[in-house]
Amino acid sequence: MFTLAEVASLNDIQPTYRILKPWWDVFMDYLAVVMLMVAIFAGTMQLTKDQVVCLPVLQSTVNTKPQPSTSGKADFTTVETTTGQGEVASMGTVSFGSAPTVTPDVLLSRATSSQYQPTESGQELKKEQKDSSGRKTNLDFQQYVFINQMCYHLALPWYSKYFPYLVLIHTIILIVSSNFWFKYPKTCSKIEHFVSILGKCFESPWTTKALSETACEDSEENKQRLTGAQSLPKYVSTSSDEGSPSASTPMITKSGFKFSADKPMIEVPSVTILDKKDGEQAKALFEKVRKFRAHVEDSDLIYKLYVGQTVIKTVKFIFILCYTANFVNTISFEHICNPKVEHLIGYTQFECTHNMAYMLKKLLISYISLICVYGFICLYTLFWLFRIPLKEYSFEKVREESSFSDIPDVKNDFAFLLHMVDQYDQLYSKRFGVFLSEVSENKLREISLNHEWTFEKLRQHVSRNAQDKQELHLFMLSGVPDAVFDLTDLDVLKLELIPEAKIPAKISQMTNLQELHLCHCPAKVEQTAFSFLRDHLRCLHVKFTDVAEIPAWVYLLKNLRELYLIGNLNSENNKMIGLESLRELRHLKILHVKSNLTKIPPNITDVAPHLTKLVIHNDGTKLVVLNSLKKMTNVAELELQNCELERIPHAIFSLSNLQELDLKSNSIRTIEEIISFQHLKRLTCLKLWHNKIVNIPSSITHIKNLESLYLSNNKLESLPAAVFSLQKLRCLDVSYNSIASIPVEIGLLQNLQHFHITGNKVDVLPKQLFKCVKLRTLSLGQNCITSIPDKVSQLLQLTHLELKGNCLDRLPATLGQCQLLRKSGLVVEDHLFDALPSEVKEVLNQDTSIPFANGI
């Protein structure tokens, strides 16, 4: 037999699960324990003391009839006895073969003779009855034991015998039904995770800080509203308006403190400052809550399981009550037993008593009372389950009592678990809601960030860029540290992958700041900060994934000079440019767009009157519509790179002020339209590199003012003489083509300073090349050149000479006469350099001592 403690263990749950046990579940658990005690007490009593005592029913006159024996012969004798009242009773004995004779009523004396003397026997019976205190039977002890056991099973109703076991089975079923949702694997893991997170959220120092900070803010607001009131700060249930933008400004600040004249910053008491460990734990909790919510809100299994087990308990209660009530009256102290064993005992009827009848009846009534209470609680539970939608949970009250107005409502199993927690203590869900708020998470990140990124640490990350400006690059932080805005001498600030970046009013201290980079960083600014950026910012780089990520305040920076936009400018509606109006950028001079445009955005025409440089870098998307270019009459530099252009767009020929044109990385095959460039009198630089151009038309001679021509990475096989008629040409780049020879007309380019013909098939250098005495850069690498003429010494201004990748066996000693050429500017194989005379090498190596001399 098992003990009560062992059975009660079925009702045990983990202590942490108690927060999910409402009062009715707790009450039903206690009722189940009491029912267990009833069952075990009744079972123990039944096993130890339960018994039936039976006596035969004696009749005043028994007319016995002969019973057949196994031998087929029976002897019957009639005996008359006198009762205690003087009556004469006739008793009979039945003899079965050799079996001993049974005398049911009185002990008979068998006479030696076959005949009895009535007078003597009657006197003996009277004497015996006077000596005894009751009627005597001829049953021995074993026969009494036998009949008691027979009548226990025949006379007692079955409910009297199995009542304790039925109560035990029913109670175990109710206990299992009550706690099944804690044991079922698919719900147990969710519940365990929820309780674990809830406990950590409740005990987290960040919860206390966030709620106390809210109370401080509310009390400060009360002080401002109640002017002249001399009352103590109170907790007021108001929703925070800090994150609401004003109608007259595009700045948005969802969280954090605002720096404005009408609402001073509220300082948090120092006692609420978190240490680093607490901050890390709180950040981990935010992540756990976010993942748990996404996992649990997808299903309502826990809710359905709880409803199901409640319905099962209710049905069980009705079933138990219905059949148990019928058996209350069947339990009695006296029972009549007819065992039908007269051939063994000699009696047909017995009267029995059940010693546990009274106790069992009281226990049964107690059990029915308990099960009725249990059932009514089950009915109340069902009423509660269907009275309100438990698959929806609103934090409206928490939002009203705190500044975290963004706490979202939850649904499904997440909502049901919170409803259950509210039945235990509503403070749990209130503190838990803090970790559902993005505003709260942002505040935590801000505090942790400021602890980690101090002024000294930020100062160590400041460097000087190529323009010799002080630059700070912050990458993948949770926000912008406050100490950044104390670096008042900073020129360039780069913010990359900081999704919650906020620019406060303290940025107005950074008087040297003129360049800002926002890389996947939709920064929000306060009103004062925007006013400062609008007046002082000169260069802005914005890198984004979708055009909607561009902050609205970018389009209102009226003093901005340079704007760089890198990202997707096409919306999902296909080919519809999502760029907002640039009309407010009145001083914009340079616009750089790296995107996937199919047409030049018409919004760009808003800045056409004052735009001087337009750069469009596509990702390979074909740029089809370029009509907007005609309106940009003041553009001096135009770059259309990787736009899949097959010809030079006609709209370009309308740009009368164009000075530099770059059509790099397109699919241009022919440039017959180049003759139209004669109308562009100011065009000095033409870049047609990385295309598929096969030949250069002779009409190129009409571009009289051309100074730089880039035709590298094309499919040219020769250079026409017309190219060398451009007398103002100072830079000619025809690298990586299939040119076999350099025309002798190259000597006509007396102003040529940079000549690049690397990666071609040139094998001989014409002597006329060395008449270009102003050459500073000469790139001849990766060709088939076998020798370098000695006339290379005429290039007195040469600073860079590339010869690597040719078929040279020596270098001319006259290289030493190139006064500005140094070893660092000579790109050649090491063995060729080592073969030079020592005095030439000494001259070329002078550059190693020049920096030292200059340093002195």
CATH of the domain at 174: 1.20.1440.80
Residues 6+ apart with CB under 8 A from 685: 659, 660, 661, 662, 706, 707, 708, 710
Residue 2's pLDDT band, with cuts at 50, 70 and 90, is: low
Question: What pLDDT is attached to residue 728?
Answer: 93
The SS3 of residue 667 is: coil
Note whether residue 317 is domain-resident: yes
Tell me which of 237 and 163 has the higher pLDDT: 163
As for how many domains the chain has, the answer is: 1
Question: What pLDDT is attached to residue 14?
Answer: 56
Question: What pLDDT is attached to residue 733?
Answer: 97
Distance CA 235, CA 222 (A): 9
What the block records as the tokens of 774 is 């102003």
pLDDT exceeds 80 at position 226: no
Question: What pLDDT is attached to residue 92?
Answer: 35
Note whether residue 18 is domain-resident: yes
Note whether residue 159 is domain-resident: yes
Domain that holds residue 9: 4-57+155-187+308-388
What the block records as the tokens of 422 is 């509210």
Pairing of strands 410-411, 637-641: unpaired
Token match 């000619």: residue?
A: 732
Token match 């720096």: residue?
A: 259
Question: What pLDDT is attached to residue 9?
Answer: 53
Question: What pLDDT is attached to residue 500?
Answer: 80
Note whether residue 731 is domain-resident: no
Distance CA 414, CA 297 (A): 6
Distance CA 524, CA 533 (A): 12
Question: What pLDDT is attached to residue 758?
Answer: 96
Question: For residue 459, what is the DSSP state?
Answer: H
Segment 603-628 mean pLDDT:
86
Dmax (CA) for the chain in angstroms is 178
- CA-nearest of 659, 601, 594, 605 to 630 is 605
Question: What pLDDT is attached to residue 568?
Answer: 85
Question: What pLDDT is attached to residue 137?
Answer: 74
What's the mean per-residue pLDDT of the chain?
79
CB 577 within 8 A of CB 605: no
Distance CA 86, CA 690 (A): 145
CB 818 within 8 A of CB 794: no
Note whether residue 476 is domain-resident: no
Tell me which of 200 and 33 has the higher pLDDT: 33
The most confident of 257-261, 270-274, 287-291, by mean pLDDT: 287-291
Question: What pLDDT is attached to residue 847?
Answer: 57
Partners of 464 in the β-ladder: 470
Helices (H), 631-741: none
Token match 């950026």: residue?
A: 533
Question: What pLDDT is attached to residue 118?
Answer: 41
Tell me which of 22 and 135 has the higher pLDDT: 22
Distance CA 539, CA 313 (A): 72
Note whether residue 474 is domain-resident: no
CB 593 within 8 A of CB 616: yes
The SS3 of residue 750 is: coil
The percentage of the chain sitting over the pLDDT mark of 90, rounded to a whole number, equals: 35
For 173-196, how does the pLDDT look when each residue is reduced to its tens digit (9 = 90+)? Answer: 888 888 888 888 888 888 888 888
Residue 580's pLDDT band, with cuts at 50, 70 and 90, is: confident
- CA-nearest of 152, 544, 206 to 337 is 152
For 53-90, how does the pLDDT look when each residue is reduced to its tens digit (9 = 90+)? Answer: 888 887 653 444 334 433 333 333 333 333 333 333 33
Based on DSSP, count helices (H) and strands (E) in the chain, helices before strands. 20, 26
For 382-401, how does the pLDDT look when each residue is reduced to its tens digit (9 = 90+)? Answer: 999 898 888 888 888 888 87
pLDDT exceeds 90 at position 484: yes
For 299-309, how does the pLDDT look when each residue is reduced to its tens digit (9 = 90+)? Answer: 888 899 999 99
Question: What pLDDT is attached to residue 73?
Answer: 35
Could you give the count of Cα atoms lying within 13 Å of 227 in the half-sphere of its Cβ? 0
- Least confidently predicted of 434-443, 457-466, 495-504: 434-443
Note whether residue 46 is domain-resident: yes
Question: What pLDDT is attached to residue 789?
Answer: 92
Tell me which of 227 and 533 has the higher pLDDT: 533
Question: What pLDDT is attached to residue 578?
Answer: 63
Distance CA 622, CA 718 (A): 30
Segment 337-344 mean pLDDT:
82
Would you say how long the chain is, in residues?
Answer: 856
Ramachandran area for residue 365 (φ above 0: left; ψ -120 to 50: alpha; else beta): alpha
Distance CA 535, CA 553 (A): 13
pLDDT exceeds 90 at position 636: yes
Question: What pLDDT is attached to residue 804?
Answer: 94
| Claim: this prediction has a pTM higher than 0.75 | no
Note whether residue 133 is domain-resident: no
pLDDT exceeds 70 at position 482: yes
Distance CA 636, CA 682 (A): 9
Token match 């030292």: residue?
A: 852
